[in-house]
Amino acid sequence: MASKSKRPRKRIRNYVREYQIRIAQGLATGKSRSEARGHARATDVGESARRQPFDRSNALENALKLMKRGVSQKEAAKQVGVSPETLRRFQKLNTASQLEGRRWIIVDTRPVSVVMATRNKAVGSRRFQQPAT
């Protein structure tokens, strides 16, 4: 009788058990359940989620300008080439906005740098608050 070659058996992973171990280890080290799963804390926001200074060359600023003129949020995002959700997040973080009827009333209180040039005098920059429009 011919003997069969013995190949090592392939290990079958128990993903449920591995997941439970990972959660237990995370909780034991003081992490929340979501942190143990690999997610960031709600308070750990990324760089793009922080309030940004006024920048005229930013596409999101151009979208806000369009919205001040009466263009819808979705259409303004489409015209400048960003997603509507990105514009919503930027608007919520950087402005005090209200929807009145079908038009956004945007109040932007971030300081704006203005460069002033005069003859025979030094050129400087000053920071002004944007008027509420």
Q: How far apart are CA 81 and CA 58, in angstroms?
A: 11
For the cut 60, the answer to whether the pLDDT of residue 126 exceeds it is no
Report yes or no on 61 lying in a domain: yes
Mean pLDDT of 62-91: 92
Q: What is the pTM of this model?
A: 0.51
pLDDT of residue 34: 86
Report yes or no on 123 lying in a domain: no
Structural domain boundaries enclosing 99: 50-105
Are 86 and 77 within 8 A, CB to CB?
yes
Rg, Å, the chain Cα set: 27
Lowest model confidence (mean pLDDT) among 2-6, 68-72, 83-87: 2-6
3-24 residue pLDDT tens: 666 788 888 999 999 999 999 9
Same domain, 28 and 57: no
Same domain, 30 and 66: no
pLDDT of residue 118: 73
pLDDT of residue 8: 81
Same domain, 20 and 60: no
